[in-house]
């Protein structure tokens, strides 16, 4: 007898096909429930808006950056990707002010995530002004009405887990590798855009001298939703 949802195969299939399609359908069901997010990139800003660290993970984001570079019309010295990051920081900053003024009296309001049609930007910031911003894809889409409640709770779960991950990146990785490094000086960190300028940032502290990036990569690889 046929069941209403398309994921359960009809029982009249021959045994081999039933097994295969069963496995396939179970897999897709599981995948639909777990977060199928792809992390696009991660940016770290300081209090003044300088980009301290930035890394793209997915191919889509890397392609987007390349296209931006190729099609930019601006002057030759300005890196359009840098400009884009400044815009992101500006947006986060303005939204934080807005959220702060909208929050009810006495409660700490903060900007957790911004969700657009294309992607979601997760934001975590500390009192010392360090801001972590991670771009991911939106959660599992699809027009399956019956699992919409499951989908929204899965979406909520995955939002929370990204925030937890950002918190972990801050407490375990950032503080341990960068802050505790003896060369760290807050006002003089070399920003990402300065990498190509050669000897300009002689005294400034470069994140590459710590193993922050390696630890970050291995942490993100270990996350179940990272691809």
Partner 1 sequence: MSKSSASASGHALWSKMPKANTELFALTYGSLVTELIRDYDNADEVNSQLDRIGHSIGVRCVDEFLSKAEVGGINIPPCQTMKDTADVVARIGFRMFLGVSAEVANHAPDGSAFSLFLYDNPLSIFVELPTAEEAAVISGGRGGCDLSKIKYSNIYCGVIRGALEQVNLKVDCRFVRDV
The contacts of residue 12 (CB under 8 Å, 6+ apart) are none
Q: Which of 175, 214, 217, 224 binds partner 1 (CB under 8 A)?
A: 175
Q: What is the dihedral of CA 140, 144, 145, 146, to 10 degrees?
A: -100
Minimum CB separation of residue 80 from partner 1 in Å reads: 31
Cα gap 141→36, rounded to integer Å: 9
Nearer to partner 1, 124 or 135 (CB): 124
Least distance in angstroms from the C-beta of 159 to partner 1 = 18
Q: How far is the CB of 47 from partner 1 (least distance, A)?
A: 8
Residue 110: CB minimum distance to partner 1, A: 10
- Interacting residue with partner 1 among 170, 212, 225, 226 (CB under 8 A): 170
User: What whole-number distance in Å separates Cα of residue 32 and Cα of residue 25?
Assistant: 10
Site for partner 1 (CB under 8 A): which residue of 129, 141, 142, 200? 129
Query: Given candidates 27, 179, 209, 214, which one binds partner 1 under the rule CB under 8 A?
Result: 179
User: Segment contacting partner 1 (CB under 8 A): 9-17, 61-69, 138-146, 183-191?
Assistant: 183-191
Single out the segment in contact with partner 1 by CB under 8 A; choices: 5-13, 77-85, 122-130, 210-218: 122-130
Q: Which of residues 85-114 bind partner 1 (CB under 8 A)?
A: 108
The rounded Cα 222 to chain-centroid distance in angstroms is 15
Which residue, among 144, 48, 128, has the nearest Cα to 89 in the 3D structure? 48
CB of 149 to partner 1, least distance (A): 30
- State in angstroms the smallest separation of the CB of 106 from partner 1: 9
Tell me how many residues contact partner 1 (CB under 8 A).
Answer: 17
Binding residue (CB under 8 A) for partner 1 from 8, 32, 47, 49: 47
Chain residues that interact with partner 1, rule: CB under 8 A:
47, 108, 126-130, 167, 170-171, 174-175, 179-180, 184-186
């Amino acid at each position: 007898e046929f069941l209403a949802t398309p994921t359960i195969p009809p029982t009249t299939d021959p045994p081999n096909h039933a097994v295969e399609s069963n496995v396939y359908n179970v897999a897709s069901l599981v995948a639909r429930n777990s977060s199928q997010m792809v992390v696009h990139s991660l940016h770290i800003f300081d209090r003044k808006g300088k980009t301290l660290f930035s890394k793209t993970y997915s191919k889509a984001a890397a392609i987007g950056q390349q296209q931006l570079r190729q099609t930019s019309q601006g002057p030759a010295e300005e890196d359009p990707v840098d400009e884009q990051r400044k815009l992101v920081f500006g947006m986060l900053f303005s939204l934080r002010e807005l959220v702060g003024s909208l929050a009810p009296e006495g409660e700490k309001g903060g900007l957790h995530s911004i969700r657009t049609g294309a992607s979601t930007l997760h934001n975590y910031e500390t009192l010392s002004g360090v801001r972590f911003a991670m771009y991911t894809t939106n959660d599992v889409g699809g027009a399956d009405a019956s699992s919409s409640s499951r989908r929204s709770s899965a979406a909520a779960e995955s939002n929370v887990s990204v925030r937890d991950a950002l918190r972990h990146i801050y407490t375990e990785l950032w503080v341990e590798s960068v802050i505790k490094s003896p060369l760290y000086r807050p006002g003089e960190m070399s920003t990402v855009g300065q990498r190509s300028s050669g000897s300009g940032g002689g005294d400034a502290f470069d994140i590459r001298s710590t193993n922050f990036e390696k630890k970050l990569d291995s942490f993100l690889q270990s996350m179940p939703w990272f691809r």
